Amino acid sequence: MRVGVGFDAHCFGERRPLILGGVEIDKERGLVGHSDADVLIHAVCDAMLGAAALGDIGELFPDSDPRWRGATGARLLSITLSQLSSKGFMVNNVDVTVIAEWPRLAPFRTRIRTRLAEIIEIEEDRISVKATTTEGMGFVGRGEGVAAWAAVTLRLVRRKGEQEEVCDE
């Protein structure tokens, strides 16, 4: 088993959709970013990459590379999963916390879990999506942006050159 932790934060500012966990939350008040600024998925990608010791999201998808301009979080997550698979890893579970004063995440939580499960190809009961506020403190508390923390566990399912099977390590 491997464990990774990821974090991401973006500020509000662009008149574009707000996307969290691959789900459109609002049509007009989006986050600033080179890609779609999906802080939830970005944190999950960083946690996955960290658990597999494959660097971070900035290395894999640098904002200096025009290929990633406007890229969806779902696309970045799919590519991250391909990187994991090529090293013999499979996602065991995902735990993510979104930190925001706005929007309220409760109405979207089930759709986000379903979307993440779809992309990652694991059961929904292996994905946890939570939300909290900072009680008015910091840039998130002032309503200037959204942040997310993620923790991921990975399983080694095969070593290089072996048949696919769960390895006990």
- What digits encode the pLDDT tens for the residues 8-50? 999 998 789 999 999 999 998 999 998 999 999 999 999 999 9
State pTM to two decimals.
Answer: 0.92
Does 165 reside within a domain?
A: no
Does 91 reside within a domain?
A: yes
Number of domains in the chain: 1
Does 169 reside within a domain?
A: no
Does 164 reside within a domain?
A: no
Does 86 reside within a domain?
A: yes
Does 163 reside within a domain?
A: no
Amino acid of residue 169 = E
Contact 41, 77 (CB under 8 A): yes
Kindly tell me if the per-residue pLDDT of 164 is higher than 80.
no
CATH number at residue 103: 3.30.1330.50
Kindly tell me if the per-residue pLDDT of 167 is higher than 70.
no
Distance of CA 61 to the CA centre of its chain: 13
Contact 134, 97 (CB under 8 A): no
Q: Quick one: pLDDT at residue 169?
A: 47
Q: Which domain, by its residues, includes 52?
A: 2-156
Q: What are the residues whose beta carbons fall under 8 Å from the beta carbon of 152, sequence distance 6 or more?
A: 3, 4, 5, 6, 44, 47, 48, 51, 91, 92, 93, 94, 95
Between CA 47 and CA 142 the distance in angstroms is 27
Does 143 reside within a domain?
A: yes
Does 99 reside within a domain?
A: yes
Return the closest-CA partner of residue 151 out of 47, 80, 78.
47
Helix (H) or strand (E) segment spanning residue 86: helix 73-86
pLDDT above 70 covers what percent of the chain? 93
